[in-house]
Amino acid sequence: MAMQSQRRGRLSVPRLLALCISAYVGLLGSPASAAEGNLEYQVKAAFLLNFTKFIEWPPNAFANSSSPFAICILGNDPFGRALDDVVAGEAVGDRRLIVRRIDEAPAPQACQVVFIAANVKDLAKIMGGLAPGVLTVGEGDSFVREGGIIGFVIDNRRVRFDISPPAAERATLKLSSKLLSVARSVGK
Amino acid sequence: MFNFRDRPIRQKLVITTMVTTITALLLAGLGFILADSILYLSYLERDLSTLAQIVADNSTAALAFDDPASATQTLGALRARTHVDAACVYRADGTILAQYWRAGGFRFPPPEAQDLVRRGGELIVSRPIILKGRRTGTLMMFYNLGELAERIRLYGTTVVGVLLVVGLFAFPLSWRLRTVIATPISRLVSASTSVAETGNYGIRAQKLSGDELGVLVDRFNEMLAGIQSRDTDLKKALAEREAALRAAEEEHQRFHFMAESMPQKIFAAGPGGESIYLNRQWIEFTGLSFGQLKHWGWEQIIHPDDLEEGLRVWRHSIETGEPLQLTSRFRRADGVYRWHLNRARAMRNADGEITLWIGSSTEIHEQKEKEEELRRANEDLQQFAYSASHDLQEPIRNVAVYSEIMARRYRDKLDGDGLLYLSFLEEGGRRLARLINDLLAYTRASRAELSETTVDASVALRNALASLSEAMRETDAKVTYDPLPEVHMGEAHLQQVFQNLIGNALKYRNNASPRIHVSAAKRGAAWCFSVKDNGIGIEPKYKEKIFGVFKRLHHDQRYSGTGIGLAICQRVVERYGGRIWVESEPGEGSTFSFTVPHDESARRAKVQSVAS
């Protein structure tokens, strides 16, 4: 099925979600191989896209009314082509969705979502320097405790996420209660 | 079987009321239940749609992040709705993300494309789960419609209960209605029944109300009054009719007795000629029964020679309605034929149509036989007179011729007496010759064939005058005549009559020259000719006598003649069915008149009556 989807050039969200099932199976097995890692990040890429549907960004998060909605990857990119595939052709509201790969903290209004890879150090500094209107997504149980808004976790061999509403509020983002209802834990 | 049509009205009223009430209630109840079911179903559909929408909305995140636990939790909220049997969230590819059921063992079908489906007591709601304009999955809810059945059962029970209560009230009500409507009707029925049974039209029905039934009672009573008065009239009329019938019966018996006791044979026939009544005399005479004689039974007792004529005359009478007169022979019981004179007349109704023929047959056998004898004797006498006069001509002529010769040749040889005797002989011979001639003329008139042609009477008259021209010149007579008709008569015969009558007028004249006028006038079915003169006239007592043979009233020499002229006239006229007579006053002249019937049938009838 995955092969079929790739041949079409792009993975739709439902298809990705379907992949999730096979992903669990993959995760269940021996240490994650490169391919298995890919599957995990394909799910995470889909989650990244879905976050945009349950969160509302303030207007001042964008440079102007025509500027695109950017998902930026800071640090080592674990997605490969997966995120680009998921995002291709998608939009948030009227805004085109693009993926940017950055090496340092982004300028204000340049990114609306910043995925901070596991290898990035000095998280507190980076997040403290971010302007409001940026959703920070990271990996691991500690990411939310360290001031991030959403942190991916592996729970019972499934990709899930923790979420911190106070951090979101600080970033002037409005979280949908539905998003909170599916989070593994909701920080205080 | 129960036949509603023949039930009494009071039962019909109760049954109709009850059936109407129960039907109305049942229909109302059914309608109510139906309307409620429809309303409830549509309410349910709307309600379930809303519920499904809420659950679907709440499942978007669970679908987006593939979180069965969250979805299951959302579905679990449906436990509050008792009749939701099961629910299920499908992913976009049709696999199940989360499911919920009230009782175990629920098998979920693949997601439905349709919004709302009712299947096997379940209302299935299917709703797409849409996130940001994209369909991410499907929600299906299975609602148990058992609730609806419960509702219907409850309503049904209520309707039946209401029916019972209503019936409890309606039955006494309709019972009461029964007395209001049925009682006046049954009163009317019992009144009409007692009228029918007793025939007493004095009975009246009691009026109980002022409605249509009251009007009906009034009309019924009026009708009874009408019948009562008509009944009285009818009884009176019947009594009168009975009396009239009795009188008619008595009359009939009188006439019947009269007909039966007549010496004649009496018969009655229908308009077609068939005999319908024959009196006792017929039965006794013929020895046959009425059954044998009725209708045309007389054909078997009439003499075969008389049958054709009898049928002809009878049919003629039936067609024309003219009275029947016929002589015929009927066979007596002993086989002897007896002459009868039959007469019949038609009885006509107010419209002039013949309804009955009444006739009598009188036995005239002896009379007929005498007539026949007389006729034969007469014929013999005539024959004798004819042959005698014919045969006498020769010797008489001899007497005349030889006495003349003798007078001429032997005049000188005879003395005075001889000459006188000779002159007597001559005179006697001449007179004898004239007598014989006249006698011959008379017998010829009796025997000559009747002519079937017509003659213009004025031609016959002119011929007669021509023959008399010498005598007319001598007497200075003037004869005038009116236009005369054509008549059925031989020319020579008519001329003979005129010649005799005018000759007489010339002969029996006064001192004045004779003035004679001939005229003709229509009289009934005949022409009547009159010859009027201014002669010496005839005394009344000789009026009949003068027509006899050799009857002479005057024997003096002034009036020569044999006295046979008028006898010849009478003979000729009567042979043609006419009649001759004279009207006269002595000294005032005479008028001789004779009739000639118009046509054949009248003449024939006349001839017959003369013959009989």
- B132: closest CA among A149, A111, A49? A49
Cβ atoms within 10 Å, residue B23 = 10
| Cα–Cα–Cα angle for B482, B483, B489, rounded to 5 degrees | 110
**For residue B339, is pLDDT > 60?**
yes
Contact present, B343 and B353 (Cβ < 8 Å): no
pLDDT range class, residue B406, cuts 50, 70, 90: confident
Instruction: Determine which of A69-73, B93-97, B536-540 has the lowest per-residue pLDDT on average.
Output: B536-540
Most confident range, picked from B76-90, B308-322, B529-543: B76-90
- Residues in A touching B134 (Cβ below 8 Å): 13
Phi (first) and psi of residue A17, to 5 degrees:
-65, -35
Question: How, if at all, do strands B515-523 and B478-481 pair?
Answer: parallel
Q: Could you give the C-alpha distances from B24 to A72, B16, B27, B64, B178, in angstroms and in order?
A: 77, 12, 5, 58, 20
Q: Sheet harboring B354-363: ordered strands across?
A: B275-278, B265-269, B354-363, B337-348, B324-331
Which of B65, B91, B132 lies nearest to residue A14, judging by beta carbons?
A: B91
Which pLDDT value is given to residue B332?
84
**What structural domains does chain A harbor?**
13-186 (3.40.50)
Contact present, B457 and B578 (Cβ < 8 Å): no
Phi (first) and psi of residue A115, to 5 degrees:
-90, 120
Best A48, A50, A185 residue to mutate vs chain B (most B CBs within 10 Å): A50
Query: Is A15 within 8 Å of B93 when comparing Cβ atoms?
Result: yes
Q: Tell me the two tokens of residue B532.
A: 């009027």
Query: Is B136 within 8 Å of A54 when comparing Cβ atoms?
Result: no
**For residue A149, is pLDDT > 90?**
yes
Contact present, A115 and A48 (Cβ < 8 Å): yes
Distance from the B92 Cα atom to the nearest Cα atom in chain A, whole angstroms: 6
| Distance separating alpha carbons of residues B159 and B155, to the nearest angstrom | 6
State pTM to two decimals.
0.44
- Residues in B touching A15 (Cβ below 8 Å): 93
**For residue B244, is pLDDT > 90?**
yes
Paired strand residues for B99: B88
Query: Which residues have CB under 8 Å from A78's CB, separation 6+?
Result: A37, A41, A117, A118
The overall average pLDDT reported for chain A is 80
Which pLDDT value is given to residue B553?
61
Query: Is B67 within 8 Å of A182 when comparing Cβ atoms?
Result: yes
Which pLDDT value is given to residue B555?
58
| Helix segments in B59-145, DSSP class H | 60-64, 68-76
Distance from the A53 Cα atom to the nearest Cα atom in chain B, whole angstroms: 7
* CA dihedral angle for residue B410, residue B416, residue B419, residue B420, rounded to 10 degrees: 180
Contact present, B74 and B59 (Cβ < 8 Å): yes
Q: Tell me the two tokens of residue B346.
A: 């038609």
Largest Cα–Cα separation, chain A: 48
**For residue B166, is pLDDT > 80?**
yes
| Distance separating alpha carbons of residues B506 and B526, to the nearest angstrom | 27
Phi (first) and psi of residue B596, to 5 degrees:
-130, 115
Which of B70, B132, B134 lies nearest to residue A182, judging by beta carbons?
A: B70
Best A182, A184, A185, A186 residue to mutate vs chain B (most B CBs within 10 Å): A182
Which of A47, A50, A181 lies nearest to residue B70, judging by beta carbons?
A: A181
| Distance separating alpha carbons of residues B79 and B86, to the nearest angstrom | 9
Q: Tell me the two tokens of residue B463.
A: 């011929």
What is the DSSP code (8-state) at residue A23? H
Query: Is A182 within 8 Å of B62 when comparing Cβ atoms?
Result: yes
Query: Which residues have CB under 8 Å from B533's CB, separation 6+?
Result: B505, B509, B514, B515, B516, B589, B590, B591
Cβ atoms within 10 Å, residue A93 = 10
| Distance separating alpha carbons of residues B88 and A141, to the nearest angstrom | 32
Q: Tell me the two tokens of residue B246.
A: 């009795």
- Residues in B touching A160 (Cβ below 8 Å): 65, 67
| Distance separating alpha carbons of residues A180 and A164, to the nearest angstrom | 9
Which pLDDT value is given to residue B523?
82
Best B54, B58, B59, B66 residue to mutate vs chain A (most A CBs within 10 Å): B66
**For residue B1, is pLDDT > 70?**
no
Phi (first) and psi of residue B540, to 5 degrees:
-55, -35
Query: Is B63 within 8 Å of A17 when comparing Cβ atoms?
Result: yes
Question: How, if at all, do strands A69-74 and B454-456 pair?
Answer: unpaired
pLDDT range class, residue B241, cuts 50, 70, 90: very high
Which amino acid appears at position B144 of this protein?
A: N
The count of CB pairs under 8 A between chains A and B is 45
| Distance separating alpha carbons of residues B147 and B420, to the nearest angstrom | 177
